[in-house]
Amino acid sequence: MNRIILFLCSVLFLCCCEKTVNKQETTSIPTHHLSIEDSLKARVDSLLKKSVPLMGYRFQLTGDFNGDGKWDTLVEHYTDSLRTKEVAKYDEAFDYFDSWFIADQLNKQSFLSANDSSLLKLEGGILGFIYIENCRDVTGDGVDDLFVVPHRGGASNCVSGYIYSLKNKEWKSSSVIHVWQWQFPDTPDAAMSHGLMGSYDVNYTHNDSINHLLEDQLKDYRFIKRNKDQSIEYECRNPFDRDEFDSISKLYGQQELILKRFKPMMLDKKLYLQDRKYPNTFYGNITKQKEGKDWIYIFPFDDYAEMFTVRVYYKKNRMRTEARG
C-alpha cells in the first residue's frame, strides 16, 4: 500500500515539475505584438522594396474659365504629400489595391492648377482623375465649364462626375452626374482595368504607337454632347432613388407613377420624358406601347444597371419642343 502511495506521489511530483518547467519555458519566450501603425509601415516598406514606379498620364486642357478673354491652361498634378514634387501615379510591381494603399499611406496629392494664378486649384481623388473635359459653357454664365471624374479609389465601378464653374475665383460644382468608370477611354502609359465590381488591376502600355492612339482617342472623346437648342446630353447610370420610386409605385402603380412624375415630350423627333420635379431635365431610352386608346410608357427606373440618356436645359427660355406625346 505504501509503495502504491509513494508511486502516486512520485507521479504527482513529476507532473508538477513538468508543468513548472513548461511554464518557465513559455514565459521565457518574449512576445511582441505590432501596433496597427507599425503593421502598416511594415507593409509600405515591403511594397516599396519591389517598387517599379511609372509616372502615368497627366491631363491637360485649355479654355477661358474665368471670362477674361484669354486662354487658361489647366494641368493635372500628382505629387507627394507636400505638393512639391511630382510622383508616380502607378507602379508596375503593384496591383490596383496596392497602388491605392500606397497612395493613401503616403498621402499623395492630386489637383488641377492653371498658368493663371487667379484660378484656384481643383482637388482630385487619391488616384488622380479618371477623366477631365472642357464642356464649354453649359450653365449659361458666359465662361467655359469643366467636367471632371476624380478617382477616389474604392472597389466599385459606380463613381460620380461633376460639372464645375468658376465663381468668384473658386470652383463651384453645379451638377453631380452618376457614371461608371468604364464609360471613359483609357489613358496612355497606364490605365485601370475595370471589372464588374470596379477597378481590379492596372494595364500598362510601353508601345509609343499605341500610346499615341490612346491619346488621340482620349482627346476626341466627348462625354457631354451639345445640341442645337442649347441643351446638353449625356449617358449615365440610373439617376433615380429606387427606394423612393418603389414606395411611390406601390401606392400608384408603375404606369400611374410615370405619368404622375413625368410628361412625354418629343425632342428632335425622339421621345423623352420630362421630369415634372425638374422641368429642365428630360430622360430618353424609353419606349411606348399602345393598349386601346392609352399609351403605356416603359421606363426602367427600377433597374439599377440601366443606362440612361439625360438631356438638360440650363437656359429654360431657349427650350424648344416639337410636339407633346
Q: The C-alpha cell of 135 is what? A: 464642356
Domain boundary among 193, 223, 253: 223
Which residue in 143, 159, 131, 135 sits closest to 312, CA to CA?
135
Judge if 271 and 187 occupy the same domain. no
Q: Is 220 exposed, middle or buried (0-12, 13-18, 19+ CB in 10 A)?
A: exposed
Judge if 212 and 183 occupy the same domain. yes
Contacts of 121 (CB under 8 A, 6+ apart): 111, 112, 113
Q: The C-alpha cell of 121 is what? A: 486649384
Judge if 259 and 213 occupy the same domain. no
What is the pLDDT at residue 220? 93
Whether residue 8 lies inside any domain: the answer is no
Domain boundary among 176, 202, 223: 223
Judge if 266 and 307 occupy the same domain. yes
Judge if 217 and 268 occupy the same domain. no
Q: What is the DSSP letter of 189?
A: S
Q: How many CB atoms lie within 10 A of CB 45?
A: 9
Whether residue 188 lies inside any domain: the answer is yes
Helix, strand, or coil here: 154?
Answer: coil
Whether residue 23 lies inside any domain: the answer is no
Per-residue pLDDT for the chain (325 aa), expressed as one digit of tens each? 444 444 444 444 445 544 444 444 445 555 567 788 878 888 888 888 888 988 989 999 999 988 888 888 999 999 999 998 999 998 888 888 888 888 999 999 999 998 777 778 899 999 999 999 999 988 888 889 999 999 988 878 888 999 999 888 889 888 899 999 889 999 999 887 776 666 667 888 888 999 999 999 999 999 999 888 888 999 998 888 777 667 666 666 677 778 888 999 999 889 999 999 899 999 998 888 887 777 888 887 777 777 889 999 986 434 443 333 3
Judge if 176 and 298 occupy the same domain. no
Encoded amino acid at 240, one letter: F
- Per the structure, the count of domains in the chain is 2
Q: The pTM is what? A: 0.79
Whether residue 21 lies inside any domain: the answer is no
Asked if 199 and 193 count as a contact pair (C-beta separation under 8 A), the reply is yes
Contacts of 141 (CB under 8 A, 6+ apart): 165
**Rounded CA separation 310/294 (Å):** 25
Encoded amino acid at 126, one letter: I
Instruction: Tell me the C-alpha to C-alpha distance, in Å, between residue 83 and each of 78, 86, 107, 116.
Output: 8, 8, 10, 18
Pairing state between β 145-150 and 129-136: antiparallel
What is the pLDDT at residue 70? 86
Encoded amino acid at 97, one letter: F
Domain range spanning residue 125?
44-223
**Rounded CA separation 295/142 (Å):** 41
What is the pLDDT at residue 26? 47
What is the pLDDT at residue 79? 93
Whether residue 10 lies inside any domain: the answer is no
Judge if 161 and 301 occupy the same domain. no
Whether residue 4 lies inside any domain: the answer is no
What is the pLDDT at residue 59? 94
Judge if 212 and 287 occupy the same domain. no
Q: The C-alpha cell of 46 is what? A: 515591403
What is the pLDDT at residue 29? 53
Judge if 245 and 216 occupy the same domain. no
Judge if 117 and 260 occupy the same domain. no
Domain boundary among 168, 188, 223: 223
Judge if 176 and 74 occupy the same domain. yes
Whether residue 63 lies inside any domain: the answer is yes
What dihedral do alpha carbons 87, 91, 93, 95 form, nearest 10°?
A: 130
Q: Is 90 exposed, middle or buried (0-12, 13-18, 19+ CB in 10 A)?
A: buried
Judge if 194 and 248 occupy the same domain. no
Contacts of 236 (CB under 8 A, 6+ apart): 177, 178, 179, 307, 308, 310
Encoded amino acid at 270, one letter: K
Q: What is the DSSP letter of 101?
A: H
Whether residue 2 lies inside any domain: the answer is no
Helix, strand, or coil here: 24?
Answer: helix
**Rounded CA separation 276/104 (Å):** 43
